Amino acid sequence: MIVCVAVVGHQNNPLYIQSFTEADDALKLHHIVHCSLDVVDERVNNPKKSGPMLNETFLGLLYPTDNYKVYGYLTNTKVKFILVTTDLDVRDADVRNFFRKFHTAYVDAVSNPFHVPGKKITSRIFAERVSTIVKSFGLNSAG
Amino acid sequence: MEEFPEELRTPPVTLLSMVGCPEHHNLISTHFLSEHPPINTLALPDLSKIYLFSRKKKDSDSTAMFPPPGILKRDWLIKHRTKVPAVLAALFPAHHVFGDPAQWLQVCTDLDSIKTVIRARNIKLAVLILQLNGQDEINEDRMIALRKRAEVDSKFVVLLNPNDTLELKESLRRLANTFSELASTYYRDQGRAIKLRIEKKSVNSVELVVRYCFKVAVYAEFRSDWAEALKFYEEAYHTLREIAGVSTKLSAVQRLVEIKTIAEQLHFKISTLLLLSGKVIEAVTWFRQHKNAYRKLVGAPEVIFLHWEWMSRQFLVFAELLETSLKSTQSFSPVHLGSSAKLLSVWECYPAYYYQLAAHNLSEKRSALELTVSMSETYDAVDSNAQSVVPSVYVGQFARLIEQGDNVDMLPISDEEYTRYAVSEGRRFQDSFEIIALLRKAYESYSSLKILRMSSLCGFQMAKEYFSEGDISNAKQNFDSITSLYRKEGWVTLLWDALGYLRECSRKTGSIKDFVEYSLEMAALPVSSGTGVQRDTGPAGPASLLQKEIIQKEVFTLVSEASGFISDEHPSNLKITGDKPLHLEVDLVSPLRLVLLASVAFHEQTIKPGASTLITVSLLSHLPLTVEIDQLEIQFNQSDCNFLIANAQKPQSLEVSAVQQRRIETAPSLLLASNKWLRLTYAIQSDKSGKLECLSVIAKIGSHFTICCRAESPASLDSLPLWTSENCIETVPIKDPILALSGQKSSQVEEADPQVDLHLDASGPALVGEIFLVPVTVISKGHDIYSGEMKINLVDVKGGGLFSPKESEPFSMAHHVQLIGISGPEGENESQLDSDYIKQVQQSFGLISVPFLKNGDRWSCKLEIQWHRPKPIMLYVSLSYNPYADESTAQKVHVHKQLEIEGHTAIVLNHHFLVPFRRNPLLLSWNKQSSDSDPSESLPLNEKNVLIVGAKNYDGVENTCSIQHGNEELPELNLLVPGEECKKVFCVTPNMNISRINLGTVCLRWRRDMGVQEQSVSSATLPWVVTKEKLPDRNVEVPPLIVSLECPPYAILGDPFTFYVKILNQTRFLQEVKYSLADSQSFVLSGSHNDTIYVLPKSEHILSYKLVPLSSGMQQMPRFSMTSVRYSALLQPPNSSSSVFVFPSKPHFKTDGSTNNRVDSIAS
């Protein structure tokens, strides 16, 4: 189950962060997302370490914790997407698929002429789309 | 790692025992310890102690018990490391072995008793014969007998001479090799025996398999066979997993503890071995498997805390191992990592990661323990029984110690007893300190790796731990250090949480300033309700608009009701009094910019002094509720301009400020609504020229609370850091769009208009060489002039510079145009001037002070400028003065004037040489060169030459110059009009027979003719200018032949006259000369036309002709030309010298004409 998704801007500032959990751990998820930016930075700044990852938007598993897995995605405009999930065996293909859908939703949201680049994404449509994508994440892997 | 016993932490070391000859034990054992690998020695002074090695009897039937009471015995390893040697070395002195039979018999007896003891344990035997003195001869028979008796191979009977210092070291080394070989044989045999037991599958208990595998691994380690050791440790570990899966014992709690303890030890060994061999990846992978395998084995609910403690220890130990390994190898190769790290994250190779997780698990343990304690009241009572629980013989087991007199017995305990024991043990530890220590390690480690966000998280957790421990100062320090990152990256929810803690910290320490700052920052944060953080909150409360409002209200209640009233919610240490007013500074980087932002714009870029302009002060606050400001103070760099804006609705603030002698404006209301600019526009004027800048805006709220906000220009207004990404409307501080884009917080106050005239009166172009005077006049028209100062600058118009250091001229001439001096007005000389008078003159710069002038006065001086080159220059004169006597306050006023002055060459000198009239020396050098070349290159010796020097007034049209020659013989003054040339004639007679002579220099003294009306002035003041020109050097030659033509000065038509040609031979040789005379139409000629004649040495040959003129006027006489045969040189006098004027009839001269004079002078 996806517990948190985030869009992070150029200054590593959060543009959109939404947790999908009933528990009281939203703050903890914010911390996890924030910390995973360290890994993104490292991947981006030292492309040697992650040789084959070069020129790929999907950054893979970022940060192992006991209970969560954190995946990252870097768009061409250097906007970062972070996904935190509690499923411990996740197929890479599922995550890639999720990010692709998420990216499309993001592109649609920022293409809104009333959206100012660099500002937080407050579009309600975007939030709805994201929650649909998040819900369909588990189903896809099952099917 | 310290939890593990020493023997587990270090690799095992071979143990050797020595018996006999105790005086030499020390030497050998010291040497063996320094060997590589080292060998520990157990020295037995004599044979009587050998029973220590004898095997106890009960060991033999321990295998019979099923299942065995424990997996590993606690003291097994230490026994093999310190008590049971692999080799026993029996030391005998040589004279005992090879000496008399009685002693030999004793040796045999000793050997027998040793053999019986060690055989039970398969300890290897070696015999060391000490040759104490060199005389001992070696008896081969005895040697063989000894070998047989001891039942050892020949190489294990070693001779050693401890007194042979030369060989000792080498023999000891050999000895060590021998012994370690023997020892490894022993360990291999032992290992093999146990391995056999495993392979035969005769072992019917899994526990024993684990034990045997462990033993085999340890024996392999003794032999430094790391691969085998690793293999069997892993085997043991995997077998242990099977037990863990099917644990059937009743006392499940203790069983799990035992299994985990052994798993931990095995894992520790495996990790150590892997890391020692540099297999970081394998070690990390292994650790992950280990962690995952045991994570689910939580155990009974009341002892969950033991599981967390155990997990935490796993992480800690692995972190320490990894750190040591990385430190020692220093070869952390990320490339290698990347290749196989498909599943691994880089993080798993950082020790900090494990420290962090260790801390996390430990905090889990703490909460689990707290839960256990709270659930059961029985643990509260001090359990006396728990005191007697001790670790039992087996690793990971505990037993009750029962003392019955001298007998000590151990009884197994029930799970319940054990749980009670574990809880009481667990409560003894201060977990917080441990957690903080772990987090600090992780924090420092991450920080050193520049992994900022992870280290911030560790810092945050650490600070929270400190906070809950009540260590406020440490908590505050840690929170403070992490908030900057959250501010920078705009993680408002995290910042909100941290600030909430900080706010509580400052509330607890009673730091009112911090409390207000943190509260205001929190209240101004862009918190929206959509962040989702609603319930999981620290002391900050939920991040919501409502909470922001609550916080703001609390702070403003605190600051505005400072006059004694303190509400009950606040502790008494949080109050503001008149003694300690609260003053907050907000600068450009302060987080409090969100709370109050002041933007100040002048409506005009420049202001006249005394004139008034408008200034707009705009304030912005992101506080959720409207703030009412009592009074605003605007501060400028010119403190006279400061003014106050009072809130009309708060009259008491006026009373306070009325005391001060300031300008006070009143605004109808000073209400600062959330995210709305409060714009206030007022007039401002300044009398002082220079920059007028607004420094700060101080807002006063309540009687003791002020916020000082640094003024910012709207043009360079940075956006507020945290609000930039918010979706709120961007507003500008000023409505005027031009000012909003370009408004500045500072304005330039111009200086007062000068009321002084400055005149430069230059009379036309300057002449090179003369001292050109430029009169400068200062006329005051309305201002008095105090401490006036005039600066003069000469600048090349073309920008080429007035200085040319490249040219090889003397330094003073290097300046093409030079300021020579400044002469004051007439009647004023230097002695009258006071000490303030400055006069400074440099090549192109001058400074002169102007005396005090009253309104209407005038003052003048003259600048003396000399041109060295004809060049136009620009003369800049600037006058600065004080219009008022008071120097300290008044501003200087400046007047500038400029003038372009041309420079011209005044006089051009020229010269040429002439030979005497009708006397033509034959100069050989003339003939050698082509006929057209300049004949004046050489001068004939002892002949009178004529030098004509001309000076032409080259200077334009307007000026005339009077010229005086620097020749004493010619003192008269000539006046040269422009374009006129003045000529003077000199005679030059070389009389020294030198090849080249220096003719000297023409000096021309001249001065500008100022015209009639200024004649008297100019002659008195103007100095003479000397123009010099060096004449070129000339060659001097002795002419061999000189031809002179002689004829009367004039002729009369039809009247015959005689024409002589005199050829003078100046040489000592006979000269053959061919001459010819060309006919002329104007004359009838008598005499030979051409001939060859011989002229005697030092004599003169005269040719005479009679000529009758046939026509009147200037007539060309027949031309004479001659060729010297000796020199093959042609001489032809010039046409001018062979012409004569023919009168039509005889003239009658009445007076002497100037022409006649002139001709005479030339002729003479």
Give the chain B residue whose CA is nearest to the CA of A46.
B334
Question: Is there a contact between B27 and B128 (Cβ–Cβ < 8 Å)?
Answer: no
Give the mean pLDDT of B404-419.
75
Give the chain A residue whose CA is nearest to the CA of B446.
A38
Which strands, in side-by-side order, build the sheet including B1041-1046? B919-921, B1041-1046, B1057-1065, B1100-1109, B1083-1086
Q: Are residues B68 and B195 in the same domain?
A: yes
Give the mean pLDDT of B551-573.
64
Asked whether the predicted pLDDT for residue B1107 surpasses 60, the reply is yes
User: How would residue B899 be classed by pLDDT, with cut points 50, 70 and 90?
Assistant: confident
Q: What is the pLDDT of residues B240-286, one digit of tens each?
A: 877 766 655 556 777 788 888 888 888 888 888 888 887 888 888 88
Contact residues on chain B for A19, CB-CB shorter than 8 A: 532
Are A26 and B337 an interchain contact pair (Cβ–Cβ within 8 Å)? no
Q: Are residues B636 and B711 in the same domain?
A: yes
The answer to the question of residue B782 being in a domain is yes
Question: Is there a contact between B383 and B420 (Cβ–Cβ < 8 Å)?
Answer: yes
User: How would residue B926 be classed by pLDDT, with cut points 50, 70 and 90?
Assistant: low
In this structure, which long-range contacts are made by residues B971-978, counting pairs with CB atoms below 8 Å and at least 24 apart in sequence?
B975/B1009, B976/B951, B976/B952, B977/B953, B978/B953
Asked whether the predicted pLDDT for residue B536 surpasses 70, the reply is no
Residue B477 has phi, psi (to 5 degrees) of -60, -45
| pLDDT recorded at residue A103 | 92
Give the chain A residue whose CA is nearest to the CA of B336.
A49
Cβ neighbours of B183 (radius 10 Å): 22
* B333–chain A Cβ distance below 8 A for any pair: no
Tokens 């380690």 sit at which residue?
B221
- Beta-carbon contacts below 8 Å between A and B: 93
* B725–chain A Cβ distance below 8 A for any pair: yes
SS (H, E, C) B128-185: EEECCCCCCCCCHHHHHHHHHHHCCCHHHEEEECCCCHHHHHHHHHHHHHHHHHHHHH
Q: Which of B587, B584, B566 is CA-nearest to residue B575?
A: B566
- The rounded distance, in Å, linking the Cα atoms of B1123 and B582 is 121
User: How would residue A48 be classed by pLDDT, with cut points 50, 70 and 90?
Assistant: low
Are A119 and B726 an interchain contact pair (Cβ–Cβ within 8 Å)? yes
User: How would residue A126 be classed by pLDDT, with cut points 50, 70 and 90?
Assistant: very high
Strand locations in B405-468, DSSP E? 407-412
Taking the alpha carbons of B334, B340, B345, B347 in that order, is the dihedral positive or negative?
A: negative
Q: Which of A38, A69, A112, A119 to mutate to test the interface with B (most CBs of B within 10 A)?
A: A38
CA distance A101 to chain B (A): 22
Quick one: tokens of B426? 């667990």
Contact residues on chain A for B456, CB-CB shorter than 8 A: 34
Question: Is there a contact between B385 and B371 (Cβ–Cβ < 8 Å)?
Answer: no
Q: Are residues B570 and B593 in the same domain?
A: no
| pLDDT recorded at residue B577 | 62
- The rounded distance, in Å, linking the Cα atoms of A110 and B945 is 104
Asked whether the predicted pLDDT for residue B292 surpasses 60, the reply is yes
**Percent of residues, chain B, with pLDDT higher than 90:** 1
Question: Is there a contact between B1105 and B1077 (Cβ–Cβ < 8 Å)?
Answer: yes
Q: Are residues B832 and B767 in the same domain?
A: yes
Q: Are residues B891 and B969 in the same domain?
A: no
- The rounded distance, in Å, linking the Cα atoms of B525 and B504 is 17
Asked whether the predicted pLDDT for residue A132 surpasses 80, the reply is yes
- The rounded distance, in Å, linking the Cα atoms of B666 and B490 is 39
Tokens 């790692």 sit at which residue?
B1
ipTM of this complex prediction, to 2 decimal places: 0.91
Report whether the peptide linkage leading into residue B526 is cis, meaning its omega lies within 30 degrees of zero. no
| pLDDT recorded at residue B63 | 46
Q: B944 or B835: whose pLDDT is higher?
A: B944
Question: Is there a contact between B669 and B648 (Cβ–Cβ < 8 Å)?
Answer: yes
- Give me the residue from A26, A51, A122 closest to B533, CB to CB: A26
Q: Which of A13, A19, A71, A84 to mutate to test the interface with B (most CBs of B within 10 A)?
A: A13
Q: Give the helix/strand (H/E) hosting B861.
A: strand B858-867
Are B338 and A63 an interchain contact pair (Cβ–Cβ within 8 Å)? no
* B460–chain A Cβ distance below 8 A for any pair: yes
Tell me the CA distances in angstroms from B502 to B363, B476, B861, one per residue in order.
22, 6, 74
Which strands, in side-by-side order, build the sheet including B1050-1052? B1050-1052, B1139-1143, B1113-1116
Q: Give the helix/strand (H/E) hosting B685.
A: strand B678-685
Put residue B1062 in one of left, alpha, beta given phi > 0 → left and psi -120 to 50 → alpha: beta
Cβ neighbours of B986 (radius 10 Å): 16
Domain stop point among B987, B1007, B1037? B1037
Question: Is there a contact between B884 and B890 (Cβ–Cβ < 8 Å)?
Answer: yes
What are the residues whose beta carbons fall under 8 Å from the beta carbon of B583, sequence distance 6 or more? B705, B706, B707, B708
Q: B89 or B203: whose pLDDT is higher?
A: B89
Give me the residues paired with residue B744 across strands: B602
- The rounded distance, in Å, linking the Cα atoms of B653 and B1085 is 133
Q: Are residues B665 and B597 in the same domain?
A: yes
Taking the alpha carbons of B734, B739, B743, B749 in that order, is the dihedral positive or negative?
A: negative
| pLDDT recorded at residue A130 | 92
User: How many CA atoms, within 13 angstroms, populate the side-chain half-sphere of residue B160?
Assistant: 30
Q: Are residues B555 and B639 in the same domain?
A: no
Domain stop point among B872, B904, B936? B904
Give the mean pLDDT of B559-578.
56
Asked whether the predicted pLDDT for residue B1153 surpasses 90, the reply is no
- Give me the residue from B357, B489, B535 closest to A13, CB to CB: B489
| pLDDT recorded at residue B566 | 45
Asked whether the predicted pLDDT for residue B368 surpasses 50, the reply is yes
Give the chain B residue whose CA is nearest to the CA of A119.
B725
Question: Is there a contact between B457 and A31 (Cβ–Cβ < 8 Å)?
Answer: yes
- The rounded distance, in Å, linking the Cα atoms of B17 and B19 is 7
Contact residues on chain B for A28, CB-CB shorter than 8 A: 536
Are A63 and B345 an interchain contact pair (Cβ–Cβ within 8 Å)? yes
Domain residue limits at B930: 907-1037
- The rounded distance, in Å, linking the Cα atoms of B456 and B439 is 11
Query: Residue B379 carries which DSSP code?
Result: G
Estimate the crossing angle of helix B472-489 against helix B452-469, to 10 degrees.
Answer: 150
* B802–chain A Cβ distance below 8 A for any pair: no
CA distance A19 to chain B (A): 7
Q: Are residues B36 and B91 in the same domain?
A: yes
Chain B residues 285-314 with CB within 8 Å of chain A: 295
Q: Are residues B94 and B49 in the same domain?
A: yes
From A87-91, B216-220, B1123-1127, the region with the lowest mean pLDDT: A87-91
User: How would residue B62 be classed by pLDDT, with cut points 50, 70 and 90?
Assistant: very low
What is the secondary structure of B896-911 as a DSSP string?
Answer: EEEEEE-EE--EEEEE
Q: Give the helix/strand (H/E) hosting B1014.
A: none
| pLDDT recorded at residue B202 | 65
Are A120 and B726 an interchain contact pair (Cβ–Cβ within 8 Å)? yes
Asked whether the predicted pLDDT for residue B1142 surpasses 70, the reply is yes
Give the mean pLDDT of B898-926.
78
Quick one: tokens of B771? 């001292």
CA distance A92 to chain B (A): 11
Are B532 and A42 an interchain contact pair (Cβ–Cβ within 8 Å)? no
Give the mean pLDDT of B935-947.
72
Architecture of domain A2-142: 2-Layer Sandwich (3.30)
Q: What are the percentages of helix, strand and coil residues in chain B, rounded to 5?
A: 35, 30, 35
* A42–chain B Cβ distance below 8 A for any pair: yes
* A39–chain B Cβ distance below 8 A for any pair: yes
- The rounded distance, in Å, linking the Cα atoms of B953 and B29 is 119
Q: Are residues B81 and B5 in the same domain?
A: yes
Structural domains of chain B, count = 7
- Give me the residue from B453, B536, B727 closest to A26, CB to CB: B536
| pLDDT recorded at residue B1046 | 86
Tokens 């528990």 sit at which residue?
A23
User: 3-class DSSP state for residue A65?
Assistant: coil
Put residue B961 in one of left, alpha, beta given phi > 0 → left and psi -120 to 50 → alpha: beta
What are the residues whose beta carbons fall under 8 Å from the beta carbon of B972, sequence distance 6 or more? none
* A9–chain B Cβ distance below 8 A for any pair: yes
Give the mean pLDDT of B366-392.
70
Asked whether the predicted pLDDT for residue A102 surpasses 90, the reply is yes
* A118–chain B Cβ distance below 8 A for any pair: yes
Cβ neighbours of B752 (radius 10 Å): 17
Domain stop point among B852, B877, B904? B904
User: How would residue B1015 be classed by pLDDT, with cut points 50, 70 and 90?
Assistant: very low
Asked whether the predicted pLDDT for residue B831 surpasses 60, the reply is no
User: How would residue B345 be classed by pLDDT, with cut points 50, 70 and 90?
Assistant: low
Q: A50 or A121: whose pLDDT is higher?
A: A121
Are B727 and A62 an interchain contact pair (Cβ–Cβ within 8 Å)? no
What's the angle, vertex CA B790, arms to CA B784 and CA B795, rounded to 5?
145
Contact residues on chain A for B492, CB-CB shorter than 8 A: 14
Are B490 and A37 an interchain contact pair (Cβ–Cβ within 8 Å)? no
Tell me the average pLDDT of chain B.
77
Asked whether the predicted pLDDT for residue A105 surpasses 90, the reply is yes
| pLDDT recorded at residue B381 | 52
Q: Which of B350, B725, B726, B730 to mutate to test the interface with A (most CBs of A within 10 A)?
A: B725
Give the mean pLDDT of B493-514.
87
- The rounded distance, in Å, linking the Cα atoms of A44 and A49 is 10
Asked whether the predicted pLDDT for residue B1160 surpasses 50, the reply is no
Parse chain A into domains and list their residue ranges. 2-142
Q: Which of B252, B20, B39 is CA-nearest to residue B127?
A: B20
Q: Which of B451, B455, B529 is CA-nearest to residue B492?
A: B529
Report H helices in B470-491: 472-489
Give the mean pLDDT of B51-67.
55
The answer to the question of residue B330 being in a domain is no
Asked whether the predicted pLDDT for residue B339 surpasses 60, the reply is no
Give the mean pLDDT of B426-449.
86
Give the chain B residue whose CA is nearest to the CA of A12.
B489
The answer to the question of residue B274 being in a domain is no
CA distance B486 to chain A (A): 9
- The rounded distance, in Å, linking the Cα atoms of B313 and B302 is 19
| pLDDT recorded at residue B801 | 56
User: How would residue B387 be classed by pLDDT, with cut points 50, 70 and 90?
Assistant: low
Contact residues on chain B for A11, CB-CB shorter than 8 A: 488-490
Give me the residues paired with residue B961 across strands: B976, B1008
User: How many CA atoms, within 13 angstroms, populate the side-chain half-sphere of residue B824?
Assistant: 15
Are A25 and B536 an interchain contact pair (Cβ–Cβ within 8 Å)? yes
User: 3-class DSSP state for residue A61?
Assistant: strand
Are A9 and B360 an interchain contact pair (Cβ–Cβ within 8 Å)? no
- Cβ burial, residue B388 (10 Å; 0-12/13-18/19+): middle
Q: What is the pLDDT of residues B702-735, one digit of tens each?
A: 778 889 998 888 888 777 777 777 777 777 788 8
Q: Give the helix/strand (H/E) hosting B1132.
A: none
Residue B830's domain is classified under what CATH number? 2.60.40.1530
Are B532 and A61 an interchain contact pair (Cβ–Cβ within 8 Å)? no
Q: Are residues B587 and B574 in the same domain?
A: no
| pLDDT recorded at residue B812 | 45
Asked whether the predicted pLDDT for residue A51 surpasses 60, the reply is no
Q: B320 or B1033: whose pLDDT is higher?
A: B320
What are the residues whose beta carbons fall under 8 Å from the beta carbon of A106, sequence distance 6 or more? A7, A75, A79, A81, A121, A126
Q: Are residues B1030 and B1061 in the same domain?
A: no
User: How would residue A7 be classed by pLDDT, with cut points 50, 70 and 90?
Assistant: very high
- The rounded distance, in Å, linking the Cα atoms of B228 and B1079 is 140
Cβ neighbours of B1158 (radius 10 Å): 11
- Give me the residue from A34, A49, A122 closest to B491, CB to CB: A34
Burial B324-337 (b: 16+ CB within 10 A, else e): ebbeeeeeeeeeeb
- Give me the residue from A15, A30, A119 closest to B493, CB to CB: A30
| pLDDT recorded at residue B1006 | 75
